[in-house]
Structure 1
């Protein structure tokens, strides 16, 4: 089973951006990768910049 990054976690507040879910508070559709988020996107919980997020490896059930 290999790990695929689908989530990014805010190091400030713990919010997780899930690429499969997007961010409805910021009108980000599901399926939008973290690297493709708009330049000014911030954590919807605490307002931290994108550079305050780190990758969360999620096991893939299909690998």
Structure 2
């Protein structure tokens, strides 16, 4: 699974660790995040992320 970076604040979403602040469990691929998911650091929508 690929990691993704927020283009606004450079937060890295790592699917292996998930994101506790958004109740996203480990193993959740970025592509499987709900449309309502937002960057836990700056709040932008997921379409502002790029694969790294």
TM-score range, shorter chain: over 0.9
Work out which of the residue numbers 11, 14, 34 in structure 2 matches 1:15. 11
TM-score by length of 2: 0.94
Number of residue-to-residue matches in the alignment: 52
Which stretches in structure 1 are left out of the alignment for 5+ residues? 57-63
Which has a greater percent of strand?
1
Name structure 2 gaps, 5 residues minimum: none
**Aligned residues: CA RMSD:** 0.9
**Structure with larger Rg:** 1
